[in-house]
């Protein structure tokens, strides 16, 4: 899985179920990256969008609700991303990112250069991922690709 998110320097990703900024080109990048891929989101993220996103298989996590035009994932602990092709993109919100970040092989992070107030935050990831490359930079944001760090092999102690 790949998580895709935009965040401020303090990791804000949302405020009151909305994205607290409108930055030219940032939503276009999201569409460009996710078009043709399954996207996985929480129910609050889906409700804030208000409709299934076209050109993508919309997977929504909800224990007891359903909506037309989306597939429902009832339990993340049994979710198997390998049954979806091409790769599943995790698109939020904060709770979904926190639950799935350890299962992601890559992150596409848009770092918004200005601070915005918010109440939803992206989890810490730098200790588990390494920066691979900057993808694009504007005066308002930089998009970065991060890959999961490989674990160092366990050292054996010989007495």
Any idea which architecture 2-148 has in CATH? 3-Layer(aba) Sandwich (3.40)
Query: Residue 156 above 80 pLDDT?
Result: no
Q: What pLDDT is recorded for position 96?
A: 98
Of 9, 6, 40, 42, give the one whose Cα is nearest residue 26.
Answer: 6
> Which tens digit of pLDDT belongs to each residue from 53-69?
999 999 999 999 999 99
pLDDT, mean over the chain: 95
Query: Residue 155 above 70 pLDDT?
Result: no
**Chain-centroid distance, C-alpha 153:** 28
> Which tens digit of pLDDT belongs to each residue from 7-42?
999 999 999 999 999 999 999 999 999 999 999 999
Structural domain boundaries in the chain? 2-148
In three-state secondary structure terms, 58 is strand
Q: Report d(CA 136, CA 44) in Å as an integer.
A: 29
């Amino acid at each position: 899985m790949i998580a895709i998110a935009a965040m401020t320097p303090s990791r804000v990703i949302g405020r009151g179920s909305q994205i607290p900024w409108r930055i030219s080109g940032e939503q276009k990048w999201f569409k460009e990256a996710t078009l043709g891929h399954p996207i996985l989101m929480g129910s609050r993220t889906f409700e804030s969008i208000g409709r299934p996103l076209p050109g993508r298989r919309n997977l929504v996590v909800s224990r007891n609700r359903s909506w037309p035009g989306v597939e429902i994932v009832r339990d993340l602990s049994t979710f198997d991303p390998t049954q979806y092709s091409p790769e599943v993109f995790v698109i939020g919100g904060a709770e979904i990112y926190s639950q799935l970040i350890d299962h992601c092989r890559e992150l596409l992070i848009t770092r918004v250069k200005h601070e915005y107030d918010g109440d939803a935050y992206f989890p810490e990831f730098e200790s588990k991922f390494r920066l691979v490359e900057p993808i694009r930079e504007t005066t308002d944001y930089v998009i970065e690709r991060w890959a999961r760090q490989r674990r160092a092999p366990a050292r054996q102690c010989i007495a």
